[in-house]
Structure 1
Amino acid sequence: MSFQTPHYSITNLLEWAASGHLQLPDFQRSYKWDDERIRSLLVTILRGHPMGVLMALEAGGDQVRFKPKAITGVTAASQDPVLLLLDGQQRTTSLFQALSGDGVVETEDERKKKLRRRYFLDIEKSLGDAREQDESVLSVPADGRITENFGKDVVLDLSTKERQQEQGIMPFVELFRPGGAMGWLLGFMNAKGPDHTAARAELMAQFNVKVISGINQYRIPAILLPAQTSKEAVATVFEKVNTGGLPLNVFELLTATFAGDAAYYAEHGTDFRLAEDWDATAAVIGHHPVLAGFQNTDFLQAVSVLVTLAKRRRDLAAGKPKPTATSARKEDILAMDLADYLPWSSKLRDALPWVAHFLNGEHIHTAPDLPYRAQVTALAVIRVLLGDDIDLYAVRARVRQWFWCGVLGEQYGGTIETKIARDAEQTPPWAIAAKIGGAVAVPDTVNRAQFAESRLLSLRTKNAAAYKGVYALLMSQDKPCVDWKFHQVVDKASYESLKIDIHHVFPRKWCLDNGIAPSYRESIINKTPLGKKTNIQLGGLSPKDYMRKLDSNGLTADQVDEIVRTHAIDPATLRSGDFDGYFTARRHALVGLIVGAMGKHANRDWDGGDERPAEGPEAFEPEPDDHEDGVSAEGDEED
């Protein structure tokens, strides 16, 4: 790919922006530079230092049909764009607003408070050293007055041309007025009367040579991409060049290219708005807290997999030697046409509620509890491909096995694009074979999944997908998990009302007092889902003491024991305060849950039978969001 490297003057940019010769592609985000960054940009230009490289694309190509929009602040562009600005929006918009029209810029301070500012140049200081040049560029409220004491005291008044000229502080915009700044400078030379005219004339002459001449000669380097540049090349070049701004993602590129789809416009009389289409998807997601982290780029990955898989199947049926590869990669997402996107996007959107219900059924209720966000993408694709058959018992059982093999085998933490594509190819045929029969290869996600028993010891925080998975499995046993104090089944409703979280079984304080190693104390083996108030009632007591407190909540000891068993815990080990006995029994119980979910044997690598494996030195901090020991408002210690 060839490109040019022209240099543009500030005047070029201002004129092109005003006329519409230079516009933005529709994917560009809103203007959002703060006041100090704008002021610093003007200091950079004053000093003649480089302000960085712009990147533009020639408009009118047939490879990329970006929908254009005017630079923020342009009221009425008079022509179609010749150049589309890909990188440099914030700098160019800052210059256009600060140096055109009334010079008022809509910006914000460092605390994101909205401001309307004008920028001025102290003529005398602009001729000084670097420190004075920095001080010479002033940011002033739009009315031209800097005040103190809640607006009661005026510190600097630049509200009229006469006051500006008298104080020798010029609006930056005057440097770029048609005909130049000479009219303003003549007023400056005479503003303080004949006694000061000679001195000000000398300042004016120096200002013309050092500042005005320097700004007129200032050039901004650019990379100019030819009109025939592909979408993929635009994205790649943008990412290499755009190190100071927000990264461009595929959603924004497709927003612009879909908006420029000529066939859609010819049929509907309007442009396709990808953002509005995503709004419809976001509305569906909004009804399901577990999907809250699902993003527009995840959605596009799923669509790309469906599009490329359909093409692959057609290629295979036609006997093509090199069939299309199923893909969720960025370059293949960008290669999608709007005609590819539309048939699958609605099907995928319709699949999302099913995905949420599936996850809720596995006792994964909120986005933070989700082991892998990428597996939501794969699950939605599988739902689309299987259709309603996914709810047949045998088919759903295989989908569930695939899901838990991915979670507990910790297989979705690497290169997810390849993983999603492979699962889309392999999992639906294997799942539907449970209905129609036939020999179908087991998906790689199931075939390769392994779980080592010793992994339970290192599962200590919610940063691990398998930790979240075991937590969910505890709540989704055949015999429902029940809260110890309120005796409610832990389901979607009680999860929220009881503020269910994962807490220590042998409390942290008790473990510290009894010399339990941190890896055992914080292991998932010593954790279980309980309500917040239940956890407070247990406090830092030995289980043999808090079990007596649970007996006083209106149930018999046998009934309490039965509730505790719903957590895969032998209540006898709690009543005796036997940590080692508890730990061994719970370990075996959790391995049983994992084996049942994965449909595969676990690697029983726990050295020494039921003895604890040897530990090396370690530094360990408890999980940040776990409750520390303390005294609650109810007077009980909180685990």
Structure 2
Amino acid sequence: MKDISVSPEVHFLEDVLKWIAAGELRVPKFQRPFLWRPEQMLQLFDSIERGYPMGSLLIWETPEQLASLDEIGGMPIPGPPDRAKVAYVLDGHQRLSTFLGSLHRASDAPRSEHQEDWMWWIYRPLGKEDREGSRYRHWKSGGRADPDYLPLRSVLRTVDFLGYSRQLYDVYPTALADTLVEEAQRVAHRIKSYKVSVVRMSGGTLGQAVEVFSRINSSGQKMRPDQMVSALTYETTGSVTLSDRMEEIQARISDSGFGEIPMMTVFQTVLAVSGEEDVQNTSWDIMAKKVQGQLLTAVEDTDRVLEKVVAFLRETVQVPLARLVPYNIQIMLLAVFFHFSKEPEEERLQKLRGWFWTTSLAGTFAGANTTQVRKFIEEMKAFAVGTGDLDYSDERARAFPERFDLRSARVRAYLIWELGTFPDRINPDGSTIDAIDQLARSHTETYRHVITQSRVDRASSPANRVVMRTPAGVSIRQALIDLAAENRTDVLTSHGVSLEAVERLKNNDYSGFIMTRQHELASRERIAIESLGILPPEQESAEADIDTE
């Protein structure tokens, strides 16, 4: 451990921004990207004008050369000056980006209706002292703002401020222009004279600096483990960090139509592929040292094996979307298999398919702790290389879920089965609907309630939901009752709804409809479970556990 010294300082905001513009104060790459919403940016300037404190900045002065951002607030930042002291922002990135991006904006910077352009063009409307809320505004069009909108980019530039003041005299009568200019001068003085508290930390190691950042970050959004390991291994990963590479992998999988795999899952997969079995370790500085030499190769291997995992899930197991995978740990364990088993034979793939269904239906990974996860990885490695087996013959499927909630692995397993069992759904008007495509966009709107009365017994059951389009103002319940005779059988069969269940609807026996359909679906699912060689549930239905990561 190296000694750390801390010294509080006070500086004009304008001077701090000059340090950034000169490349002397930098933002390390392990910081999150700019995440503030436009209204947060406006509130920051409003707080300054009202004299409210904005919180201190924490910077770390070190001789170490850290990988850092070359753009802050949409502004290019030069490299660190030769032989000059360089400091890194540990807390204050979002605030400093807002200041630099708006106060140092170039006059010819892009203006458009796109947020990435207009969010940096911040104005202080003049002559409207009775405003409520923030006194600041964005100008969201590509054109020039109204004459009485003071552009913040001019308040630190004397020539630009004088030019804006002259413009007011060109547009308004002298008396009104005098009033507006006086107000503009007060605003500019507030910003130019604003002092910020800077806590300067000197000494210490990179690991200590990252730990400090992860503890004190004022935004309340914790540093992700992959970002922390990226910071601690920057010498190995170079300017493109581990997080950057993982985000590329995540984006490729999402763009394939499978949807987004959680970043933590991708990160744990990288660790597992690197040979690490303790993938849930929270001592990320120790973890970084252990895997530092294997990271680049592990990321490339992860990219390759996750492609195989997605293909296996889609083609062999018939999982259409990432959001339906019951447990994210299954993705990581499948990646371990495909990493260590280069060309698995069909028999082994079918065994893996059975393992997926068994663990999904039985809730095998619910609440898995570090020791259990390590055991699962060891077991999968042994199976992949042919020195072990995946024996889950004593696992029993959990009962049909009584509540539709995608936070339940059992519900996700049910939906995978349901989507495969009813692939071609027909609407009452004879048109077809792609349930998977619709589910990829929104699961809450895809599976619509048949009975909308919450007080009806078992109204939350998956049996009370179907994927169907109806005319405006027509409920699913009414559409099922009014089905034309010529296509009634085809429509009902495509949704797994029996004539008996519809008769219950016609007689206003809503609970009876749900119970009838639930029994029919549970019976069909049970047959599928037994055909997989999995022990069927001991009871027909039960409350669905909320057990996903």
TM range (shorter): 0.5 to 0.7
Partner of 1:302: 269
Alignment CA distance shift 1:246-1:399 (3 Å): same
**Contact 2:393 2:535 (C-alpha < 8 Å) held by counterparts:** no
Matches within 5 A, 1:119-130: none
Q: Amino acid of the residue matched to residue 281 of structure 1?
A: I
Among residues 84, 95, 98, which one is paired with 2:99 in the alignment? 95
Q: Amino acid of the residue matched to residue 379 of structure 2?
A: Q
Partner of 1:237: 212
Larger RCO, structure (CA 8 Å, separation 6 or more): 2
- CA shift, 1:36, in A, is 5.6
Matches within 5 A, 1:122-201: 147=146, 155-156=147-148, 172-173=155-156
Partner of 2:410: 466
| Structure 2 residue 221 is matched with structure 1 residue 221 | no
| Structure 2 residue 58 is matched with structure 1 residue 83 | no
- CA shift, 1:59, in A, is 3.2
Matches within 5 A, 1:185-334: 218-222=195-199, 224=201, 226-230=203-207, 233-244=208-219, 247-255=222-230, 258-261=233-236, 271-272=239-240, 274=242, 277-278=245-246, 281-282=249-250, 284-286=252-254, 288-290=256-258, 292-309=259-276, 325=278, 327=280, 329=282, 331=284, 334=288
Distance of 2:452 and 2:443 partners within structure 1: 19
**Contact 1:23 1:85 (C-alpha < 8 Å) held by counterparts:** yes
**Contact 2:30 2:231 (C-alpha < 8 Å) held by counterparts:** yes
- CA shift, 1:89, in A, is 1.7
Q: C-alpha deviations, 1:534-559, integer Å up to 9, x for none?
A: x989942399x9698327x9xxxxxx
Alignment CA distance shift 1:214-1:374 (3 Å): same
Alignment CA distance shift 1:287-1:75 (3 Å): closer
**Contact 1:239 1:247 (C-alpha < 8 Å) held by counterparts:** yes
Partner of 2:461: 523
Distance of 1:83 and 1:171 partners within structure 2: 27
**Contact 2:260 2:322 (C-alpha < 8 Å) held by counterparts:** yes
Distance of 1:158 and 1:457 partners within structure 2: 60
Partner of 2:310: 356
Distance of 2:434 and 2:134 partners within structure 1: 61
- CA shift, 1:304, in A, is 1.1
Q: C-alpha deviations, 1:79-135, integer Å up to 9, x for none?
A: 15611112212322333455558799889999776156476798x99xxxx989999
- CA shift, 1:525, in A, is 5.3
Alignment CA distance shift 1:459-1:104 (3 Å): same
Partner of 1:345: 299
Asked which structure has the greater CA Rg, the reply is: 1
Alignment CA distance shift 1:245-1:524 (3 Å): closer
| Structure 2 residue 382 is matched with structure 1 residue 399 | no
Partner of 2:337: 382
Alignment CA distance shift 1:27-1:69 (3 Å): farther
Partner of 1:541: 481
DSSP-derived class of the 1:590 partner: helix
Distance of 2:106 and 2:468 partners within structure 1: 62
Distance of 1:483 and 1:144 partners within structure 2: 50
Distance of 1:108 and 1:417 partners within structure 2: 50
Distance of 1:338 and 1:497 partners within structure 2: 40
Distance of 1:468 and 1:135 partners within structure 2: 45
Q: Amino acid of the residue matched to residue 408 of structure 2?
A: A
Q: C-alpha deviations, 1:306-326, integer Å up to 9, x for none?
A: 3343xx7xxxxxxxxxxxx45
**Contact 1:144 1:158 (C-alpha < 8 Å) held by counterparts:** no
Partner of 1:632: none
Distance of 1:483 and 1:537 partners within structure 2: 20
Distance of 1:32 and 1:512 partners within structure 2: 38
**Contact 2:363 2:409 (C-alpha < 8 Å) held by counterparts:** yes
Among residues 507, 526, 529, which one is paired with 1:591 in the alignment? 526
DSSP-derived class of the 1:52 partner: coil
CA RMSD of aligned residues (A): 5.8
Among residues 387, 392, 410, which one is paired with 2:363 in the alignment? 410
**Contact 2:36 2:94 (C-alpha < 8 Å) held by counterparts:** yes
Structure 1: tracts of 5 or more residues without a match: 148-154, 160-168, 188-195, 266-270, 313-324, 487-492, 554-559, 607-611, 616-639
**Contact 2:4 2:202 (C-alpha < 8 Å) held by counterparts:** yes
**Contact 2:232 2:288 (C-alpha < 8 Å) held by counterparts:** no
Using structure 2 for the length normalisation, give the TM-score: 0.67
Q: Amino acid of the residue matched to residue 155 of structure 2?
A: F
Among residues 41, 44, 47, which one is paired with 1:44 in the alignment? 47
Q: Amino acid of the residue matched to residue 253 of structure 2?
A: I
Distance of 1:508 and 1:384 partners within structure 2: 42
**Contact 1:94 1:105 (C-alpha < 8 Å) held by counterparts:** no
Alignment CA distance shift 1:37-1:107 (3 Å): farther
Distance of 1:502 and 1:102 partners within structure 2: 44
- CA shift, 1:421, in A, is 3.8
**Contact 2:363 2:410 (C-alpha < 8 Å) held by counterparts:** yes
- CA shift, 1:407, in A, is 1.8
Structure 2: tracts of 5 or more residues without a match: 167-174, 428-432, 505-511, 544-549
- Identity, in percent, stands at 15
- CA shift, 1:527, in A, is 6.5
Alignment CA distance shift 1:416-1:334 (3 Å): farther
- CA shift, 1:342, in A, is 2.1
Q: C-alpha deviations, 1:132-158, integer Å up to 9, x for none?
A: 9999989899999852xxxxxxx5387
Alignment CA distance shift 1:410-1:7 (3 Å): farther
- CA shift, 1:23, in A, is 0.9
Alignment CA distance shift 1:595-1:119 (3 Å): same
Distance of 2:135 and 2:416 partners within structure 1: 62
Alignment CA distance shift 1:173-1:572 (3 Å): closer
Distance of 1:537 and 1:468 partners within structure 2: 24
Matches within 5 A, 1:443-458: 446=392, 449-453=395-399, 456=400, 458=402
Q: C-alpha deviations, 1:591-633, integer Å up to 9, x for none?
A: 343355473353x246xxxxx99x9xxxxxxxxxxxxxxxxxx
